[in-house]
């Protein structure tokens, strides 16, 4: 008799919440995508948020893969599907923010 998980593991959930913190840090570092940010010097306004968003994408992809791997073949799959959907949304949002950062600060 085998036992399958009913809810995603702690690693999957923590990898899901790390990108949210990094996206929030991106908003803070860029002064909410201000054209002339004054809070931090230029490398912290343009380069560091790009690095944070790339790390957020990597973390969300790893979280998606682990949620897909932990998903039971039978039984309740809804919590795993919710985690996978949140990870996909984080990936799309991070890509959109990277494009926004490039258009505001580099072009």
Total number of domains in the chain: 1
Query: How would residue 2 be classed by pLDDT, with cut points 50, 70 and 90?
Result: low
Per the domain annotation, does 1 fall within a domain?
Answer: no
Per the domain annotation, does 74 fall within a domain?
Answer: yes
Residue 84's domain spans which residues? 10-32+39-106
Q: Which residues of 21-50 are buried (b: 16+ CB within 10 A; e: fewer)?
A: ebbeebeebbeeeeeebeeeeeeebbeebb
Per the domain annotation, does 64 fall within a domain?
Answer: yes
Overall residue count recorded for the chain in this entry: 107
Per the domain annotation, does 2 fall within a domain?
Answer: no
pLDDT in tens, 38-68: 888 888 889 999 999 999 999 999 999 999 9
Per the domain annotation, does 92 fall within a domain?
Answer: yes
Higher pLDDT, 16 or 5: 16
């Amino acid at each position: 008799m085998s036992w399958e998980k009913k809810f995603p593991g702690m690693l999957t959930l923590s990898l899901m919440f790390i990108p949210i913190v990094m996206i929030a840090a991106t908003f803070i570092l860029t002064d909410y995508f201000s054209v002339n940010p004054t809070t931090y010097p230029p490398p912290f306004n343009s380069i560091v948020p790009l690095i944070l968003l790339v790390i957020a994408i990597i973390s969300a992809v790893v979280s998606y893969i682990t949620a897909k791997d932990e998903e039971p073949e039978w039984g309740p799959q809804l919590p795993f599907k919710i985690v996978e959907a949140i990870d996909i949304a984080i990936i799309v949002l991070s890509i959109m923010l990277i494009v926004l950062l490039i258009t505001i600060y580099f072009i």
